[in-house]
Structure 1
Amino acid sequence: MTTIKDTVSFGELKISRRVAQALTDMGFEEPTPIQQLTVPFVQEGRDLIGQAQTGTGKTAAFGIPIVERVNTQQGVQALIVTPTRELAIQVAEEISRIGKYRRVRTVPIYGGQPIDRQIRSLRQGVHVVIGTPGRLLDHLNRKTLRLDNVKIVVLDEADEMLDMGFVEDIESILLAVPQTRQTLLFSATMPEEIKRLSRKYLKDPEYITVSKHNLTVPLIEQVYYETREHTKLESLCRILDSISVTLSIIFCRTKRGVDELVAGLQARGYPAAALHGDLSQYQRNHVMRQFKTGQIDYLVATDVAARGLDIENVSHVFNYDIPQDPEFYIHRIGRTGRAGKSGVAVTLVSPRDYRQLKLIENLTKTRIRREKLPSQADIYERQKEGIRERLQQTLSKGKLAYYRNIVDSLVDDYDPMDVAAAALKLSLDLDEDREDLIVESFGNTGARPGMVRLFMTIGRKDNISTGDLVRSLAEETGLPENTIGAINIYENFSFVEVPEEWANRVISCLHRQTIRGRRVSVEPARLRH
């Protein structure tokens, strides 16, 4: 048990020192709105219904109090039920990180993984089990999972489990845990079946919701670029090289991420400095003076560190990491476009970020424009423009007599144009042999060049038409209708061709979503050999 002496502040929350240290390691500086509302009620032992979207930080909202309550001398004390294996793994990893210093052991159990391996993990002793309904029932029936000591049950993304037909499985699981448990239910929507479940299995629950319906976005230009995690820094540098930046703030999710990005930018010659919670007031003031006076162009910051900043002439805000809460997105991009000036907000998106990007777009009622990552040719063209401008400024100032003497000694042997070009190359040291980024390919999916053929688990038996698929693609992903290629609808499935640069977004936005009442899986088509 945690005593008052062992507690510290995490924003306005009181949590144990060990959990606070783990959150610091994870880079969290303050709770998100859902955590601020949820944690105190869970700490009091109340049943709770939380209406919140994925991407609002709700895993830590129930993970923090679960970790604090675990008695490491006992067996399974918390059970978290999730609709998919991906979410089970994600939740298990996050709770494991939160419980690192308390030595809380977690295990995800789901279909598609050998059950023997899961049985071995359970026998070795775990405190928190995270699983999908079908596999949890399988273990219960085999008696390889005992829930006698479970004190808290979490139903995560309950509406998704309902859509997938898991309601009977959920009820069977709830009947297998002690009646004295605490039950938490999280759901983005509240259909009648979810309300029925809560009335039947929750005791006088507290209802909390994080309303995002009134988020307003500043009138600034918003764009995003698709990248990969392992090439993200290179992608950012490309963008910086291809645009005119006055001053910019680059946001990372964690303090460690800020320090790593600053090191990477400085190593490449970009004038950048860090701003996060580990800086002393003197260091913070020094960095801000450098930024305001133009000694550094790029301020790399966490969300909390950037609070209260009021800096004019910030031309660009970059979301190097997509924010964990849509409200943070609004706060971030509001740092540019001040005092009626124009501003640009740029977001880097890896394939796994598309769900969060779509959530931000839906809640802010804004379509963020997709841009193609600048090519090396684009960057060279931009560099040439800058060189021409600097040459014109130097020529207009005159005072070139010393340099003319050097040129005069060369023009008898070389063409004056070559002399000027060699002088430019010498002074600028341009890396003309730099290779373009390698773009990962989907391979041959059977589509024509430049397109990707996608396999979708919906067909004629679902009363789907070509028009329905086109509308779903356009509305859910922002893909222009006139860029959609061939569509073939069969009895149980369909094939759709989309431009290669849109394929990741289409997969991320439509996979496990509902079209005409049916939950759909989407993946690149595979050719049979």
Structure 2
Amino acid sequence: MSQLLRFDELSLSQEVQQAVADMGFETASPIQSEAIPFILEGRDVIGQAQTGTGKTAAFGIPMIEGVVGFEKVVQGLILCPTRELAVQVTEEIKKLSKHKKGVWVTTVYGGDSIDRQIKSLKAGANIVVGTPGRVIDLIERRALKLENVKMVVLDEADEMLDMGFREDIESILQETPDDRQTIFFSATMSKPIMALTSRYQNDPKLVKVVKNEITNANIEQLYYDVKGRAKMEVMTRLMDFYTVKLSLVFCNQKKKVDEVVEELQLRGYAAEGLHGDLRQAQRTNVMAKFRSGVVNVLVATDVAARGLDVDDVDAVFNFDIPLDEEYYVHRIGRTGRAGKSGKAFTFVVGAERNRLREIMNYTKVKIDKGVIPTFSDVVGVKKGMFIERVRTAIEGGDLELFSDVLEGLHHAGHTTEQVVSALVKMNMGVTKSEFADENLSGDSDRRERGNDRFGRGDRDGGRRGEGRFDRERGRGGDDRRSSGRFDRDSRGGREDRGPRTDKAGKPYRKDPNMVRMFVNIGFNEKISPANIVGAFAGESGIPGNVLGQIDIFDKYSFVDVPKEFASTVLNRMEGASIKGKRVNVEIAKPSN
């Protein structure tokens, strides 16, 4: 890793230098210090970096420097996996190019008026930021012409492949000149990513931010071992105890987002949700409220939060522990930005401590166990805040207008002490819940049962049973375990325990339009459903969202694939790897 560079040490134009200074930056971040010099030289670059590392400026500054102003043709193209990220990147590029005359940036994405986007392109956009699907639509309508493109950037390339955009990406790249400069930014260097770089880049330079640079030292990370039913109570206590002004809450399911938002609103918090079922107008409205502070709690899924960039987030709450270690880094990277401090709180229920250990191993950071504030602790904090507000009001004067109110209450038979106590109660909004006097720690449940299930009878750290991923519920389904087993005697797996059954005890009915496939990798290799979806979509070129149920065991997994894609998957997955391990994929033997 080279030393960090000051922006005035880079070969940048006066216009860009001024824009960077306006944004308050003097020293380039690690990824900027590494990548900008190579991109300015015209080299193809693979940048490995997470959200919050400054990667937008790392490719945005060189792209702006290469644009010839007032030429009404598209000279730079940036592809992003989500609408939110595309909008955020556009805003950053506009800030960086505001002093360079004749440079016009526009955004194109689904869910917005395509006619408006076509009009913007015809007006002469120089830099286009967009999602692959909408870019393809505009190319097919001949509204977006890429024959003059000098640089193409794939931002969060791994996420685009996970979402099944590989075919679209390749089609777009084939519309650009062969001598273009191609920049890939990705959080991981998976085989599908490397396959794309080998085909579409010319002697690329790899630059990356290593893990210990990804984890922001300004973020205090704590976990809380809680009872599952008490998560909401613990979260709101933490919000009040730490006087959190702006917070992000992450859930693994869209349904859970809606449930958490509803409960927060019932408790009096200004909360809104963000997930894939919202229309674009709704998403834009929610984000505008959050950025302005009208909404101070935003509850979101991982995919919906891609591209969310707000500098003043005080705390991130992992209401559900993330299903993938990289998601944890993405989540907590939303706080502690721009040199400010932040907090990341993770709720762990029972055996989820296995996942917490995996996250700590990945980030190389010890996450300490937090102490759940008591009801009395929260009341004490609110009392202190109330006293301070009263003191400020007294010092502000002009109290004579209201003096007769106390006199009127005295005449009604109330003492001064009663009046003050009532006003404090009304102002603080503190209400005793069913959890007020209860020990909310998950440890207490295990002590009462006399049986800590975590690790019992499973000393090698492997998970027992199967983890299910129901794509109809969305990424991040409940991590349930089933007693059903497949016949794996011939492969040295588990003993046959009979056919799998559903909750009612009936045999599991497989979709006749799906083919069940066996993959010789499982929990012991620390894989998640997201890893499997990414590999199948990236290698086979099929949309990730067509895959059916994914069952992960200790040493192997099963994946339901639509019949029409079965032969393609078998052929393309031959010799493929998942998380660096070579895998074998074949048609699964039927259960007994």
TM-score, structure 2 as length reference: 0.45
TM-score relative to the length of structure 1: 0.49
